[in-house]
Amino acid sequence: MHNLGGYVRSIDVSRLGLVACARYRLSLTYCNRALNVQGIILDYLVDACNPDFSLEALPTDPVPDLGPGWKMSRMGVRPLSHTTSTIDSKDGLVGISLGFDTEQTEVLKFGFRLESAELDASRLANHVRYQCQAGKGITIYVKLPKPGQYMLQILAKQDPDEMSTSSLCNYLIQCRSGCIDPWPYPGSDSSKIGCISPTTVLKLEAHSHPDAIVEASDNGLLTVAMKNPNDLRILIQLELQTKGSAADYSDYVWQSTDDHELKIQCRFPRPGCYCMTVFAKEKGRDRLFKPCWRYLINVDNPCLNALPYPSQHPAWKPEYRLFEPMEGYLLEKQTFQIVVCIPRALEVAMVNNNEVVSSLARDVAKEATWLGNVATTSGGFPLTLAARLRDDSDLSLLLEYQVSAVR
């Protein structure tokens, strides 16, 4: 036995996972990669007289190095929430926190591999998400669809030019009960959530919800506030993960901007896990919208009788204000009051099939506010809010309402 400055106090045979009555050889080995040497420290012969026939095989073969160790320390990473190799999950959800040096916050690039004996890594590829906590570390979120044993491999690389990542740490997860929502996390293009913008120009700062995983209110509503110091143009996508694919619910999102603060209002018509991605681009530049922030939103109680918001035309600006009606579907043969704030507008009207149905009047007390009563007709033609913004211009289409017999 090599003298490595340590000793074995005892061996708990019940923790070895022996599944048959037999004699086993247990070898403890060492490996020094710096000196390129390895060998056996000690050998044990173990007689199993009372095996546990209910034990399952580990998810991977051969079994990788388990738990935090020298690989983490080499990259300046330390475990914050789970310092041992095994994690127990009672509800199919796991959160793992890792801390690291502040100078490595933007350097390390992470990857993950989750697998079990029943489900391979390709089927569990979208069951792991992580959020970077600037200057602190990362938080890893894992969703386990079924009970059983899972192997989570955390991968990382320091050089962005490296073709592959190296193993940072491996956790064995014992799941007692699968997650109530067994579907993968929505948003399959990236495992990163929270701030995902690669540049500081397109950066949005979370104001009301700094954590990327959010719980909707009991009435199925959510309002998110973000600081937008560069007055970026914003586009928001909302998806609900279902059994087969992701369903788009972007028309259930409304955005407005006031004093460099972006306000996002969401309605959720169905329960489940939603992915809300905030895209942005600089004003006045012909660039594509790029993803900046991504939220995962859990909805237990949906909004009853939720309807989409009115559709926004390109001429609608976030600084405009719509007070009523906020539902994008109006009943036919009914009268509705329209109240909207459009600064510097010269004329505001409701248009039906390119014809002016009703002109709105300017509020005497608030010059930027326009209001009026509009009667809907039958025929299914949409009603569109339009405004004349310059003397020499035509009416610009702003918002569109659908008219139907039922909502």
Contact 137, 101 (CB under 8 A): no
pLDDT (tens digit, 9 = 90+) per residue, 305-322?
889 999 999 899 888 999
CB count within 10 Å of CB 200 equals: 7
For 15, the domain range is: 1-55
Of 299, 322, 338, the domain-final residue: 299
Q: How far apart are CA 343 and CA 345, in angstroms?
A: 6
Q: How far apart are CA 161 and CA 159, in angstroms?
A: 5
| One domain, residues 374 and 396 | yes
Q: How far apart are CA 266 and CA 251, in angstroms?
A: 9
Q: How far apart are CA 351 and CA 359, in angstroms?
A: 9
Residue 182 in domain: no
Residue 91 in domain: yes
Residue 183 in domain: no
Residue 149 in domain: yes
Return the CATH number at 279: 2.60.40.10
Looking at residue 143, its pLDDT comes to 94
Of 144, 175, 206, the domain-final residue: 175
pLDDT (tens digit, 9 = 90+) per residue, 339-374?
999 998 999 999 987 788 889 999 888 888 999 998
| One domain, residues 294 and 319 | no
Residue 284 in domain: yes
| One domain, residues 396 and 320 | yes
Overall number of domains in the chain? 4
137-169: burial string, b at 16+ Cβ within 10 Å, e else: bbbbbbbbbeebbbbbbbbbbeeeeeeebeebb
Of 107, 141, 175, the domain-final residue: 175
CB count within 10 Å of CB 96 equals: 21
| One domain, residues 334 and 399 | yes
167: Cα within 13 Å, side-chain hemisphere: 16
Contact 234, 262 (CB under 8 A): yes
| One domain, residues 216 and 138 | no
Residue 345 in domain: yes
Share the mean pLDDT of the chain.
Answer: 84
392 contacts: CB under 8 Å, gap ≥ 6 = none
Q: How far apart are CA 371 and CA 325, in angstroms?
A: 11
262 contacts: CB under 8 Å, gap ≥ 6 = 204, 225, 226, 227, 228, 234, 255, 256, 318
| One domain, residues 29 and 122 | no
Looking at residue 12, its pLDDT comes to 60
| One domain, residues 84 and 138 | yes
| One domain, residues 295 and 200 | yes
| One domain, residues 292 and 327 | no
| One domain, residues 4 and 89 | no
Q: How far apart are CA 128 and CA 112, in angstroms?
A: 7
pLDDT (tens digit, 9 = 90+) per residue, 138-195?
999 999 999 999 999 999 887 766 777 788 889 999 999 999 888 888 876 678 999 8
For residue 195, which of 239, 255, 133, 283 has the smallest C-alpha distance? Answer: 133
| One domain, residues 16 and 93 | no
| One domain, residues 384 and 321 | yes
Residue 188 in domain: no
Beta bridge partners of 347: 388
**What is the token pair recorded at 383?**
């009603």
Residue 372 in domain: yes
Looking at residue 2, its pLDDT comes to 41
List, for the chain, all residue ranges whose pLDDT scores fall below the cut of 50: 1-7, 105
Q: How far apart are CA 294 and CA 213, in angstroms?
A: 9
